[in-house]
Amino acid sequence: MSLLTETASSTDSVTVENNEFDYSAAPANKRVSFHTIGCRLNQSETETLSRSFEQQGYTVVAETAQAEVCVINTCTVTEPSDAKNRQLIRTLHRKNPAAAIAVVGCYAQINPEEIAAIEGVNLVIGSAEKMQITDYLSQIDSHKSPIIVRPKINKSTFTNPVIPHSTAYITKSTKYQALKLGQADNSTASEPQQICDSMSQQNTRASLKIQDGCDFMCSFCIIPFARGRSRYREFQNLQEEARMLLDEGVQEIVITGVNVGTYKTGKRSIVDVIDFLNTLPGLSRIRISSIEPTTVPEILFQYMSDPQHKLVPFFHLPLQSGSDIILSQMKRRYTATEYADEIWRAFESVPDLCLGTDVMVGFPEENEAEFESTLNLLNKLPLTYFHVFPFSTREGTPAFRMEAQINPQVKQRRGEILRSLSSKKRRTFNQRFLAQTRNVLWEARKPDGTISGYTDNYIRVVLEDLNGPDLRNQLLRVTLKELKGQNVVGVQSI
């Protein structure tokens, strides 16, 4: 069965087509909680879903609160991700047995029947229809078995709903902040627990999805099957969302997608997206979440080097392996030397640049010499940090059929070696900036009273001022004082 063209069916579940539903049914006054596993793109999509539910009259509550509807936005990039999805479904059903559970996203696209078989699941929606989830909820009570919705994912240019938060949302979020600061209020003591955690941290940074799916077809990757082939968001639609986010007070916009460097609508590219965002008054920062090393326009180096430009000095360029043999088997589109040249070109072009990467250990047939090639390359390159992942077999990918799978203990050992190197590189990078003064965009205060935020070049700064004001969403000059683990302690500049 093709995962991209077939609709799941089973005698134990009800599979529906879009035209079977009456979308006019309005929800009762219900609460909904959202639970997200996976990448920044998933988090961005959950935010859009929460706005859609709010528009339909639902009250968005915290993950731990009781709710009539629980929405799980899933990841399936690794087998551990699938296990986390299943565990979360069972936990939610156990703690909230009366709730309707709707499972959406990548895992729902790949294994809908497996999800539908889990006790408590009412609705399973794949990648193509997940933004229309509220259209299906009114129907779940009329079926004894879970509903599965998984139509074909097409390659058409897409739009996302652009839905401002309601006055009620803003009022609750503001009230929550007041309660955290100990200001007078007539609310009940339990009210803050009924407000989604993400609400209290809203308006600092927001993700702007510009692209979905991928055409690169790396041999280990399930994403082209889970999200479809590469497709792009209509330019006017993303402009509308960016303006809306600024109206809500967002200071930093993070460009997200599966393969953002390939963005193309007509003659517009990712450079045009950045050029537009740079013109927006009130926006302080533009950040690219992750971009393939073969798709980086050279002009971005110039933008990042210009102190007046809003594009921050930050690149996350996935490597995956430092061995040409493994890169070829992975069907990556560069050699280790070509990747290194790109990293050095960026490093030498952009002052104070933070460079992150992804690296995989234990790809089938990766021997010690090939792992050493990866280790040596990472050690030599001016990288700031790396995310390390053990190879996980994904059925349906070419790598699933490869022989000489690597022992899990070997993967673990190699991963620990690379993570240790990453920690050292992060501390070395942070140390370079001690005694300097940089702008920090502050996030919400933590339960322990501390507040933290990020510099433009992605140094996490902690301000240990337990009795100070709430600086959330303020961009302030801070002197970087001393290292604290992977973070830096900062002192406000006068």
Give the residue among 86, 475, 69, 96 at the shortest CA–CA distance from 284. 475
The residues, any chain, with a CB within 8 Å of residue 334's CB and separated by 6 or more, are: 293, 294, 327, 342
Q: What is the pLDDT of residue 174?
A: 39
The torsion angles phi and psi of 123, rounded to 5 degrees, stand at -145, 130
The torsion angles phi and psi of 218, rounded to 5 degrees, stand at -60, 145
Q: How far apart are CA 48 and CA 160, in angstroms?
A: 8
Q: How far apart are CA 228 and CA 128, in angstroms?
A: 9
Q: How far apart are CA 210 and CA 257, in angstroms?
A: 6
Write out the two tokens for 190.
């339990």
Rounded to 10 deg, the angle between the 336-349 and 368-380 helix axes is 10
Cβ pair 339, 291 in contact under 8 A: no
Q: How far apart are CA 384 and CA 53, in angstroms?
A: 39
The DSSP call for residue 260 is: G
Write out the two tokens for 378.
């990472």
The DSSP call for residue 413 is: H
Return the residue matching tokens 């308006």.
Answer: 203
Question: How big, in percent rounded to 5, are the helix, strand and coil portions of the chain?
Answer: 35, 20, 40
Q: Is 61 helix (H, G, I), strand (E, B) or coil?
A: strand
Cβ pair 229, 223 in contact under 8 A: no
Q: What is the pLDDT of residue 143?
A: 60
DSSP 342-374: HHHHHHHHSTT-EEEEEEEE--TT--HHHHHHH
Write out the two tokens for 212.
């979905």
Rounded to 10 deg, the angle between the 368-380 and 408-432 helix axes is 10
Q: How far apart are CA 322 and CA 337, in angstroms?
A: 9
Neighbours of 7 (CB within 10 A): 15
| pTM (predicted TM-score) | 0.87
Amino acid at 397: T
Strand partners, 84: none
What is the full per-residue pLDDT of the chain (494 aa) written as tens digits? 222 223 333 334 444 444 333 333 445 468 999 999 999 899 999 999 999 999 999 999 999 899 999 999 999 999 999 999 999 999 999 999 999 999 999 999 999 999 999 999 999 999 999 999 999 988 887 567 899 999 999 989 999 999 998 654 444 443 333 333 333 333 333 333 333 444 434 568 999 999 999 999 999 999 999 999 999 999 999 999 999 999 999 999 999 999 999 999 999 999 999 999 999 999 999 999 999 999 999 999 999 999 999 999 999 999 999 999 999 999 999 999 999 999 999 999 999 999 999 999 999 999 999 999 999 999 999 999 999 999 999 999 999 999 889 999 999 999 999 999 999 999 999 999 999 999 999 997 887 778 999 999 999 999 877 677 888 999 999 999 999 999 999 998 86
Strand partners, 101: 70, 121
Q: Any alpha helices (H) in 181-269, and if so which ranges?
A: 197-200, 223-226, 235-247
Q: What is the pLDDT of residue 199?
A: 42
User: Domains (ranges, CATH) in the chain?
Assistant: 14-149 (3.40.50.2300), 195-431 (3.80.30.20), 437-492 (2.40.50)
Q: What is the pLDDT of residue 492?
A: 87
R_g of the chain computed on alpha carbons: 23
